[in-house]
Chains A and B, each alone.
Chain A
Amino acid sequence: MTRTAQQWCPALAPALMLRHDAVRGTDLLVLPERVVVLEGHGGMVVGLCDGTRTVPGIVGELAERFPGAPVATTVPAFLDSLRQEGWLT
């Protein structure tokens, strides 16, 4: 990972709303013209993106909560894909 990626503290882009959808039992990202359904623990991961935690920090927290899960590889890739969409800054 590059130095910048190590230091990146992901935060939700200002236009977005992260919410739980009790009717459908899932987490959502709501955008100006779109709704994105966050499968599995996606909502929990995005919920940790509050602009204070670094990516390794987020990975560390998740590794504690889900021992044995491959978070070290899946989470950075997931966050990166959200950044490429412009949903995380």
Chain B
Amino acid sequence: MTTPVNPGSVVAPAPPWALLAELTHACPLHCPYCSNPLELARRSAELSTDEWTDVLRQAGELGVVHTHLSGGEPLLRPDLERIVAAAEAAGIYTQLVTSGTGLDEARLAALTGAGLRSVQLSVQHADPGANDRIAGRPAAFAAKERAAALVRRAGIPLGLNVVLHRDNLDAVDAVVELGLAWGADRIELANAQFYGWGLLNRTALLPTRDQLARARETVERRREELAGRIDLVWVVPDYFDGVAKPCMGGWGAVSLTVAPDGTVLPCPAAASLPDLDPPNVRDHRLAWIWQRSPAFNRFRGTDWMTGPCRGCPRQEEDFGGCRCQAFALTGDAARTDPACALSPDHHLVREPADGDRPEAPPYVYRRPGAVPAPAPAPAPAPTVLTTDGPKGRN
């Protein structure tokens, strides 16, 4: 396809600040909202240690200063210490994003010795039983509790990352208490986003408006009480307010994602766009990928916009919303995000958001083969109910 001529393809775009490294899609947990793609990369396709080292060196030269070492579960990579060291050598700040399973004292010491700077731990619920049910793994909560204590003892910053949905929004106060008890510096409360696994499980995960309003009030109250003690971050839900979220700070504007097999994407969810033809570090230099690849230029700037986004005064603030959500709900990634009240497709989020809540169906847990390949076609206008960027991932 042709890339629309936009300033981004004439003048080199500003360099990226951050890189999300999905080191593996393997994971001991099976969260039903996971932001990994429905088609998970096989372990045999994963980049080698040398390839990651080269990617991080290139990233540093390109201007990346921060990386989330994520997955799946990055601790499943036996060479994680060497990858941390490679980032450190490239001048890149490292944060490990983990489920906590597999972290012990020796491993953490090796990681901090290699230069690891901070840890973000995912938590599914403040109640151990509920946590393990959502995660699809027994004793997952106990592993998190141990991991949090280890990180605290190591003296590096600890953040908790909690994806919020119908089954844990009512426990948001308990989650804040848990964060305090575990000594977290920061709790990110990220409302679930509905594409990929989240869309597949939307009926089970979509909260009610009342639930959300109560949780929002609780968070505001706790934030005031705890100012200066803990950083409480509330990542807004986009089905309910009629406002599109500024995804990833704009397409190809701030950060890039490298998938386990070396595919490079403007956002982890963009793997779902069928005609994106994303580049791979095995074929191209990262600088070319960021500056010149058609995939990264596809939705840069505003020239690609359609419908109400054209000429809209908010187009530099929200960039027309989420491309992956536009595709998932309408089948066209260039349409206005249906989350925006001005979108002609807004009923696609409004109806499920305000409709009756049927009995929650069981989760479709995230695991290889859970969804018949190829991934299901974009959901047709759903009348029945089913993150920084998508957040639900380690």
Contacts and interface: CB of A to CB of B under 8 A. Distances in A.
B272 interface: no
A28 B155 contact: no
B159 A32 contact: yes
B186 A33 contact: yes
Contact of B63 (A14, A15, A23): A23
Interface in A21-42: 21, 23-24, 28, 30-33, 35
A17 interface: yes
B36 interface: no
B186 A23 contact: no
Given A24-B15, A35-B17, A15 B66 contact: no
Nearest to A24: B63
Contacts, number: 39
B9 to A, nearest CB: 20
Nearest to B119: A32
Contacts of A17: 93, 117
Contacts of B62: 23
A54 B252 CA distance: 43
A30 B60 CA distance: 14
A86 to B, nearest CB: 8
Interface in B117-169: 117-118, 120, 155-157, 159
Interface string B287-299: 0000000000000
B343 interface: no
Contacts of A31: 93
A28 B93 CA distance: 11
Contacts of A21: 63, 65
A16 to B, nearest CB: 9
Contact of B157 (A15, A19, A28, A35): A15
Interface residues of A, number: 13
Interface in B295-311: none
A28 B65 contact: yes
Q: How large is the interface on B (under 10, 10 to 19, 20 to 34, 35 or more residues)?
A: 20 to 34
A35 to B, nearest CB: 6
A14 B156 contact: yes
A50 B118 CA distance: 21
Contact of A30 (B15, B65, B185): B65
A21 B95 CA distance: 19
A32 B118 contact: yes
Interface in B40-95: 61-63, 65-66, 91, 93, 95
B95 A35 contact: no
A28 B95 CA distance: 17
B93 A30 contact: yes
Contacts of A14: 155-156
Contact of B65 (A15, A19, A33): A19
Interface in B356-394: none
B17 A32 contact: no
Contacts of A28: 65
A46 B118 CA distance: 21
Interface of A: 14-15, 17, 19, 21, 23-24, 28, 30-33, 35
Going nearest first, the 3 A-B pairs with the smallest beta carbon separation are A23-B63, A32-B118, A30-B93
